[in-house]
Amino acid sequence: MDIRPAEPEDAAAIAAIYNHYVATTCITFETDAVSVIDMAERIAETRATNLPWLLAQANGQVLGYAYASKWKGRCAYRHSVESTVYLDAARTGQGIGKPLYAALIDALRTRSMHAVIGGIALPNDASIALHERMGFEKVAHFKQVGFKQDRWIDVGYWQLLLQ
């Protein structure tokens, strides 16, 4: 497995991974599929802010991706980011998430980030386990803040201090 920066040309493979979760789960609060063009724009926007967007691949196939985005827009938040990790649904539980997330965290350290925050739609035992294996600690729990698939969804936040 190789981990490398994502390019806008990877948007189709990334959108295919993400849109599975949009259509079939409450893991993301988006309700409409993301087009390849929109995904390419998201990748380009993230890279333009000097934040990492990485992907894991093997034999030319994208296995998953991870990226960081601004936590909030105000200037004082500039050293904090929100992390996002998605794996191809057929590849979960195969040891891809941890090295991919570790590469993202390493990339954030080189950019002088201080805090990484991961939001998790609950319940999601696999994501909680990944975050906690990476050293994140639960810092917040918001009840019934999302509504998808005819139900209310809680969101928990896990945080990792990098410095």
* Average pLDDT score over residue span 79-87: 97
65: exposed, middle or buried (Cβ count in 10 Å: 0-12, 13-18, 19+)? buried
Q: For strand 80-87 and strand 115-122, is the pairing parallel, antiparallel, or unpaired?
A: parallel
Q: What is the pLDDT of residues 131-162, one digit of tens each?
A: 999 999 999 999 999 999 999 999 999 999 99
CATH number of 50's domain: 3.40.630.30
DSSP structure class, residue 125 = H
pLDDT over 90 (residue 124): yes
pLDDT over 90 (residue 95): yes
Question: Mean pLDDT for the chain?
Answer: 96
| Residue-number span of the structural domain to which 137 is assigned | 2-161
Using 50, 70 and 90 to split pLDDT, how confident is the model at 163? Answer: confident
* Average pLDDT score over residue span 24-41: 97
Instruction: Say how many domains are in the chain.
Output: 1
Using 50, 70 and 90 to split pLDDT, how confident is the model at 57? Answer: very high
pTM for this prediction: 0.95
pLDDT score of 46? 95
